[in-house]
Every structure is written in structure tokens, then in C-alpha cells.
Amino acid sequence: MTEPLRLGIAGLGTVGIGVVKIIRRHAALLEARTGRPVVITAVSARDASKDRGVSLADYAWETDPVALATRDDIDVFVELMGGHEGAAKAATEAALATGKDVVTANKALLAIHGQALAEQAEARGQVIRFEAAVAGGIPVIKSLTEGLAGNEITRVMGVMNGTCNYILTQMEATGRGYNALFEECAQLGYLEADPLLDVGGIDAGHKLALLASIAFGTKPAFDDVKLEGIQRIAIEDIRHAADMGYRIKLLGVAQRTGRGLEQRMTPCLVPASSPLGQLEGGTNMVVIEGDSIEQVVLRGPGAGEGPTASAVMADILDIARGLRIATFGQPATSLEEPPSAQAGLPAAHYMRLALQDKPGALAKMAAALGDAGISIHRMRQYDHNSSIAPVLIVTHKCTSAMLEHAIDGLNATGVMEGTPVALRIEEL
């Protein structure tokens, strides 16, 4: 009989237990699809006595994940602990050093240490697979490294944090503000232990850095990703965007420009009629554009036990079949240092301003925009019952540097209340 593929699973939270359930439930199906049994040899977590809803009695137990990673009776180390330092990093390095392949769902680990880990793995003939690290159950890594490998990728973009998309779509559907929905997400357990990872765009930024590396043949460069969260989005912005035929999304975009590789995870307006504009709730979506394929849209659940465990299993089954691909789609030593674009491509922008309702205020506002080289495409002033007049502007295309200059000028006019809100309009 063909030798089984033996797994050691570190981390028995939602995803780890989901993997255990799939292997127990579909043992015969997995063997039929790979030609060999897929079995769990040992597991690791902090608390062996915790009831996780499934029996773990058949597996050896290691309290220390590094000890699990170095066991002689496992072939694949499955890292589902999370965190870019500490136990996850140490155990992954130990697994590679002792000849194990690695499957992980840890986007932070790979976004920050992925280059070094990939070089370590590939120097020893090992593989690191991480489908579950980006967009949950959506097979976006496999799409880029395999299905679209014959394309020169021109742009990758997407909604890759379900919590943020849930908050933004619920703001529009219910009329509730950001703070109320943030508290609801906290009570429902939708937020990370550090909520800024979600609402600040950091979690999604890790994912974008990994996709950009595969798409453009560059070393992962999370520090080059421009990050802006959704904390400043007000219900007024949601309503104004809808009035103009747009919806607001926390959108990741990676693309090559004449000035380098642009990577940003920021709130943007997208056409309401587009696939991204129609995305509801906690669902994720990734759009890939290539020279031969033109555009591919991938949509699906971005988190949860089943979808994420499904992605982990896809990587495990590829290893069982003997499929061995470089971590980021090409040899790690061939990846380039990404030339970071200091300024993105020009785009139209939405701006919400609060002006003092007095003579000359609009003229000063227009002058500040003109001094920055920004022309107004559309402007709307809403009815108001106070001394502050809400004004909505859509600019013609301008650069981020021009926009920053304009905001500095607006703040210096003496007729502004608060800081203007400015959001890029991403045409699809």
C-alpha cells in the first residue's frame, strides 16, 4: 500500500478542528483523490483538556509546537496558531530544518517573514503552501500560481476583510453608524483580539502583500502597503456615495506603474453596479486582471471553520499528490525587490467637507483646490440648519500628492470645520 501522508497540526482553534473534521469525515474520499491515505499523527495546543467537540484521542499530543514540528513521524507540519513571531515562527523554522513541508493559514507570518522562510524551504527541497492565508475559501493563490500562470498580471484588487465589508454594508442597510456596528461585531466575535488588525486594514494588508508578491514576482513587502482603515467613514459618506451610484469598500489594489509597484489597502468608492459594488456582508472577492485572461472575479466566504479548513486541505492534498510549487510561484531567490511607487496612478476622488456658512467660504475652498491643481467635476451642497454647511465634491483625476496639498490648503483657509474626508474612486 502507498505510504500515508502524516500530518502534525499545531493550533486546534476553529480552523484546526475544521481540518480534523474533514480528515475524519472524508478519509476514503481523500485517499481516492490523492492515491494515498491522509492521516493525523500528532497535534499541539495549549490546553489538552479542553472540549473541542471532536475526539483527539487517536493522536499523540505535544504541548510545545516546536516539538511537534520536529517529530520523526510527521511529513507535513500544519501551522494554524497565528502570529508572526514566537511559537508560530519558531515551529515553522524547525519544521523546515527537519525536512517537513509546511501548510499554514498565517498571513502575518508570511507577509513579514515569507521571503526568508521561502528561501529556507526551497534550499532544502521543501514547500510552503498557504491557500488559507488569503481570502479564506477562495482559491486565489492556486489561481495565480497555476491557472493564470501564463498571464502577465496587470492588477490585483479585492475586498479581503469580511468584518470591514460587513460593517460598511450594514451601515448602508440599517443607517447605523460605524461605532454601533463596531460594538456589534465585537459582541458577535467577528473582530480579532486586536481590532485594529481588522478595521485598520492590517489583516487585509498582509493578504495584499502576499498576492502582490505572486502576481508581480517580487519579495513580499508589507511595509510598502499603504494602509488606511474604515474608522473615519461616516454614515453621510455611505449615503453620498450611494447618491452618486457608488459604494464604499475597504479595497486592496496592487499594480505596476511607471513609478514602481503600487500597493494600497484603503477605503475606496467603486461603482455600485460592479461585482465589487454588489458584494454584501462578510463575503470576500478578489479580481485579477491579466494580459491574456483580461479579468477574473473570484467570490466566496473569507473566513469560518469550513471555508478556511477547506483551503488548508487543498494544500495538503496537493502535497499528497506530489505537486510541489515554489512558495510565491517562482524560486524565492529570483524574486525582485519591489520598487515602491511613492505616488499612485491619478484618480478621481470623493471629498466631504464641512464649511463655515459665511460669505466667501466656497471661494476660498475652490481656490485651495485650484492652487493644488485639482479641478471640480461635481459639487453638491446639502440643506442644513446650522452654521456649518456640508459640501460634497467629486474631483477630476488627480494624484495623491495633489490631494494632500489640497487638504493642507483647505485646512489653512480658516473656513473649514474638522478635517476633510477624501476617498479614491476606483473605476473597474
- Where in the sequence numbering do the catalytic residues fall? 207
C-alpha cell at 128: 510552503
* Beta strand segments in 22-137, E: 38-44, 60-62, 76-79, 101-104, 128-129
349-364 per-residue burial string, b: 16 or more CB within 10 A, e: under 16: bbbbbbbebeeebbeb
Nearest to 78 by CA among 301, 332, 315: 315
DSSP 135: S
C-alpha cell at 77: 507540519
**Cα separation of the two ends of the chain:** 52
C-alpha cell at 404: 494632500
Strand partners, 254: 156, 263
Cell 483580461 sits on residue: 294
C-alpha cell at 40: 493525523
Nearest to 80 by CA among 316, 283, 265: 316
Identity (one letter) of the amino acid at 141?
I
**Under 8 Å CB-to-CB from 47, ≥6 apart: which residues?**
none
The answer to whether the CB of 71 falls within 8 A of the CB of 57 is: no
Burial of 123 (0-12, 13-18, 19+ CB in 10 A): exposed
If you count them, how many residues does the chain have? 428
